[in-house]
Structure formats: C-alpha cells, structure tokens
A and B are shown apart, each in its own frame.
Chain A
C-alpha cells in the first residue's frame, strides 16, 4: 500500500516536470497552431544561460528574471528571424524548421558547455515531506507549485486580457484579425517570446532534479508531448492534468503491469500519444476542431 502510494506520488512529481514543459508547448500552439519540437532544447539552453550567469557570481534571484527576459527576447528574435520567413509555408516546413532549431541548440550547448552533468541550484529545499509513509521532496512540490502559477498566468493572459484575445484571434483567423487591426505577425512573436520564457521557467525548475546537461530535455519533451496531447493540445489546464496522468500512468505501468517493466516507461508514453491521437484526438479538455476547406 505504502509502495503504491509512493508510486503515485513519484508519478505526480514527474508529472509536474512534464506539465511545466507542456505548458510552453500549449502556448505556441495557441499562438500559431504549431507544435514546437525545439521547445525542450530552447528550455535547456536558457537554463545554461542562467547557469552561466550564476556561475559568474550573480545572485539566483537576479539571474532568474534576467534569464526569463533573455529567453523572451530570444523567443521573439527566433520568430522574427527564423519562423517569419516560413510562417505561411505548409506545416511540414514549420516542423522541419523547429527540428532544425532543436538540433542546433543541442549541438551548440554541447559545444559551449560540454556534456558532463552539472548541479543547478534550486530555491527549494532538498528535504522531503512524509505523507503516510510515502515521500515527496520540496523540490518536486516546488515544480508543481510553479507550474500551477504559470498555468494561472497563462489562463489569465489568454482568457482575460485583450492581448490574449488578439493572440488567439491571430492564430485562428489571421485575415479577419488583420482587418480588425491586430498586428498578426507581432502576435506570433509575442507567443514565441512567452513560450520561450515559460520553457525557461520549466528548465530552471527541473534542472536541479534532472541535472543540467545538453540532453536534459531530450526525452522529457516526449513525455511533455504525451501530456499536451492527452490534455488537449490547446488547453493549459489540460497540459497540467495530462502531465500528472502521464507521470502516474507511466510509473504504475512500469511497476505493476506484467511484461512492461521500468525499462519501457518511454514506450508507455508513446502508447499514450498514439492511443489518444487515434481514439480521442482532441484530448480531455480540447475542443473539436472543424475541418476547414
């Protein structure tokens, strides 16, 4: 019983990690109907930036907002320089460009910072909380708490502000929005900037747990895909709920389903992605998309 509870708790903790990256994916999807395959690598790179700043003697609480600003600026810059020239191209072109970005950031990080895992500071204690014999660390709680805050911020932004409305309008009805005076292209840039910053938050929060190295996010992104798809890829709340479900399912399947085993955890995430896409493509919280001709 205690063990089962521990599996669930550890799964929720992992789910927080997946959710934090999935939130950034959801932002880009809302802004331009695209899944950014480079989201994880951009988050990793931003975390290395924070690491470098802290390494040069900056206080954590100064380095953190500075990194978020830099990540935001980098996101806007990437959209203006790399995405804008192809933003009306077929989805294939966009997917390939983001894959190119992912490869580029991974290689650059390896070249600049090396491949030896590093420790990254965390504002949260390494100590753990005992819940009826099962344990969860403050760092895991921290990841979940910060994800919740990011979720609320994104929700408020998208649903309660005119910028958010313009952002969504620009993504779904670019031509109509243009007629209404929305600067569509800058809305996309804003979306990229915000997603990049949300990714940086994720990277900085999970790096103390996952250890910082250029391949830190390489498989997290698959779990984040699973989380986003399960939750309904345009729903921020869905990303968080999806993340938790994926984390718990992967743990329970690995531990208790005969023939699965701990070594096939990633395969379970893959199965979730395929099952959701085939059986319920809109996920738990997504709206049914109408096929436009």
Chain B
C-alpha cells in the first residue's frame, strides 16, 4: 500500500510542477472584451428559483427581444448573445456567478441584473473591473443617486422614491386632510418607497397617523391592517409585492373598511387585480402609477407597440404574454439595443457606459406609455422619471391626467 502512496505523491508533485511551468495566462486586457466581428456577449443574473422566482421570466423576455433583433440582422452585423444565470435572489450566489460571467465568459457588459441586495453586492466589483452594470432591474434609489461613486452602474425603471413622490403630490393636492396609514414590506423595497413618501409629503408628513410593517415570511397582514384601521386612517398606502398586495386588498374589504387606497406600481398588474377581486376585495377608486403599457389593458389592443410586443414575445415559449414582467423585460431590452446601436463603431465599454449614463434621450420606446422619455444627462442618472397616475374602476386601471415628471427631485 505504501508504494501506491509514494506513486500518488510523485504524481501530485509532477502535477504541481507542470502547473507551475505551464503557468496561467492572465486575462487579456482589451477595450472591447465580449465583442467579436459578429457578436456581442451580455451577461445577467436573476432569480429563476427561490422566493423571487416569479421575476425570472424577465430575462427570458429580454432574450426574446434580442432574438427578434438578431433575426433582423443584429446590430451592425453583430448578433447579441445573452447569458443568463440563476442566483436564486441570494447575493452569495450573485457574486461568484457575476465573476464567472466577467472573468470566464468574458461578457462585454452585465444587463438587467435583478434584486437590490444582489446588485449592490457586485457593484463595487463591476466598477473596479470597469464592466458596465447596465439597467439593473431594481428601482432602489442608490443606483441613480450614487452614480459619482459608481460610474459603471445605471438603473432603468423609475426609482421607487420617485413613485412615492407622485403619490405624495396627489395627497397634498387632492386630499390635504387625509389621515394616512402605511402598510409596508420590511425589506429594502418597502423601506425605500416609504422614505420616498415621507420625503415627498415634507411638512405634510404629519398626515401619517400610523405605519405598520410586515415581514416577507408573514402569512397574513390582517393584524397590521386592523391597527391602521384602529388608528383612524382613512387613506391606506399598500407598499407590498404582488402576493401581499392581493392579500392586503382582500383583507381591507374583509375588515369592513373602505379607505382610499394607494397601491404601489410593482403589484398593479391586471392579473393580480383579478385575483384580489375574486377574493372579495373592493378597491374602486384606488390609485397607482404606470409607465409601461399593460398587456391586459384593452386600450392598447390596436397599438403598434403592443403588436410589436406580441410579435417579440412569441420568441419565448415559456413566457406568458399577459405577464407585466415580460413587457418590462422587452422594454428594457429595447433601451439596451438602442444604446448599442448608438455606440456604432466605437463599441467600447467606456463609450457604451457614457451613452447609457449621460447621453440617453430615447423618445421612441414603443412599450412605454406615450410621451415617456428614457433620458440621462451628465447630472441626472435616473433614466425613467415620468409616470402617470391611474385610477381603478369598472374592473381596470384608467390613466388620469398627464405624465408627471419627478426628474431632479430625489436627493
């Protein structure tokens, strides 16, 4: 036996020597990693399993749009390759997977990574490597606000605080004597949008009579809503992800209560409203905001953008055409393609980052509400800051007034 051991040791020694002699080639430094004469490689991490897996379809929808563009001939002859990895919404997974995409797969840029904590966990790394972290799929304010420390990171969807500012304006203008109760999810999302509401109300924040939080592990929000009701609130803000938003709407009605409701945009898809209504929720007159065209809204039935969306999403066999997450993905992919087209022959990471973070002026995104401009300047790094209020009645959301621009209000 000992002889076999010696042999193994000799083998191991040989292995180490070979390794030492062979060495490893350092990653080649080039200004256009991930770009070849006929392809552009983009990377993405998103939750396709675990607690946030319902968002996973976004990456598939984005890929559907890239397929559509590739079938049209690509961007200046280059086809987009999109490598998506599942991080299960856990930053501990996001970090190694992102490093894999950057160092092994040699992606040109990261596009539309999902989750606030997940994207914060790789922001320093990507900036140190000067790899663009483009259009992250989170509205956390830090991604637009802290641009100067992180010039290789940019968000896309409207900042949560901006959304809350719009509600605050509506309260001050139309309901100056409201008694506000806030129900918010105790996570980065809920705390961010709550801060936006308090900031937006400013001196009127005394209107808030009670704030109640719930954890994502909760099975019911009845206790919190009963407290808000007991505190005498006549206006309720529901800052919750879809499942909890549906339960909140149903519970408010079940408590024999009919306050004025503000519902956050992440949960206002028609599918969810349908479930809430089936569960007995009555919320006519509820207010939300919108910036995307809702695929379930009949008013867009003959809209060119919606027709294009349906053509695009046919490239994805697993995507539900009515799922609002999918039109989100297609719209974000549109901006991504727009940036790459503008970069033209100067396809470097630095140039693409410069265009995305300070030279965007996209007026033709067909999946956004008419009039919304995806815009960045050298001093403003929140691409979408216009949204429109919508009121619920007769089984659907109805857009109200005109677009509200919150550009420059987040500090």
Contact flag A223-B214 (CB < 8 Å), given A3-B230, A110-B53, A117-B275: no
B175 within 8 A of A: no
- Asked whether B279 lies within 8 Å of A127 as measured between CB atoms, the reply is no
List the one stretch of A31-39, A57-65, A94-102, A263-271 in contact with chain B: A263-271
Minimum CB distance partner of B183 in chain A: A262
Contact pick for A266, options B54, B215, B224, B250, CB 8 Å: B215
Interface residues of A in 225-281 (CB under 8 A from B): 250-251, 254-255, 261-266
Decide if B220 touches A10 in the complex (CB within 8 Å).
Answer: yes
A218 to B320, CA, bound (A): 26
CA distance A124 to B222 in the complex (A): 19
Q: Does B74 contact A (CB under 8 A)?
A: no
B302 within 8 A of A: no
Within 8 A of A (CB), among B234-265: 242-243, 246-247, 250, 254-256
Complex Cα distance, B278 from A125, in Å, reads: 10
Per-position binary interface string of chain A over residues 175-213, scored 1 when its CB falls under 8 Å from any chain B CB and 0 otherwise:
000000000000000000000000000000000111101
Known: A2-B230, A3-B227. A128 touches B275 (CB 8 A): no
> Chain A residue with minimal CB distance to B250?
A126
Asked if A285 is an interface residue, CB under 8 A from chain B, the answer is no
Looking at chain A's contact residues, the main secondary structure is helix
Q: Separation in Å of the A12 CB from the closest CB of chain B?
A: 11
The answer to the question of B16 belonging to the interface, with a C-beta cut-off of 8 Å to chain A, is no
B275 touches A118 (CB 8 A): yes
Of the residues A208, A219, A263, contact of B186 by C-beta under 8 Å: A263
A118 / chain B contacts, CB cutoff of 8 Å: 275
Q: Which residues of A contact B203 (CB under 8 A)?
A: none
A13 CB within 8 Å of chain B: yes
- Name A263's contact: one of B51, B53, B215, B320 (CB within 8 Å): B215
Contact of A255 among B53, B223, B242, B272 (CB under 8 A): B223
B215 touches A264 (CB 8 A): yes
- In the complex, what's the smallest C-beta–C-beta distance from B322 to chain A, in angstroms? 10
The smallest beta-carbon distance between B202 and chain A, in angstroms, is 26
Complex: A266 Cα to B217 Cα, angstroms: 7
Cβ proximity bits B281-295 to A, threshold 8 Å, 1 near / 0 not: 000000000000000
Shortest B366–chain A CB gap in Å is 25
- On chain B, which size bracket covers the interface? 35 or more
Is residue A107 contacting chain B, with contact meaning CB distance below 8 A?
yes
- Cross-interface CB contact of B219 among A128, A223, A261, cutoff 8 Å: A223
Does B229 make an interface contact (CB < 8 A)? yes
Q: Please state if B229 and A6 are interface contacts (CB–CB under 8 Å).
A: yes
A127 cross-chain contacts in B, Cβ below 8 A: 280
Contact B279 A265 (CB under 8 A): no
Least distance between A143 CB and chain B CB atoms (Å): 12
Q: Does A14 contact B (CB under 8 A)?
A: yes
In the complex the two chains form, what is the Cα distance from A128 to B256 in whole Å?
8
Which residues A10-25 have CB closer than 8 A to chain B?
Answer: 10-11, 13-14, 17
Most A C-beta atoms less than 10 A away, residue of B212, B217, B221: B217
Interface hits, B201-222 → A, CB 8 Å: 212-215, 217-222
Among A107, A211, A218, which residue has its beta carbon within 8 angstroms of that of B246? A211
Known: A110-B49, A265-B218. A7 touches B223 (CB 8 A): yes
B323, CB-defined interface residue at 8 Å: yes
Q: Which residues on B sit within 8 Å (CB–CB) of A116? A: 54, 242, 271, 320, 323
Nearest neighbor of A127 in chain B, beta-carbon distance: B280
Contacts A6-B255, A10-B220, A126-B279 known; A261 to B247 CB distance under 8 Å? no
User: Complex formed: what's the CA distance from A127 to B282 in Å?
Assistant: 11
User: CA A11 – CA B48 in complex, angstroms?
Assistant: 34
**Contacts A3-B229, A265-B214 known; 5 new A-B pairs at CB < 8 A:** A107-B49, A115-B53, A213-B54, A255-B226, A265-B217
Q: List 12 A-B contacts (CB under 8 A).
A: A7-B226, A13-B222, A117-B246, A118-B275, A126-B250, A137-B254, A210-B219, A211-B243, A255-B224, A262-B212, A263-B214, A265-B215
Q: Contact residues of A with B, CB < 8 Å? A: 2-3, 6-7, 10-11, 13-14, 17, 107, 110, 114-119, 126-128, 130, 135, 137, 208-211, 213, 215, 218-220, 222-223, 250-251, 254-255, 261-266
Which residues on B are within 8 Å of A, measured CB to CB? 49, 51, 53-54, 56, 186, 212-215, 217-224, 226-227, 229-230, 242-243, 246-247, 250, 254-256, 271-272, 274-275, 278-280, 320, 323
10 residue pairs, one from A and one from B, having the closest CB atoms: A126-B280, A3-B230, A10-B222, A263-B186, A115-B54, A115-B53, A119-B275, A251-B223, A6-B226, A263-B215
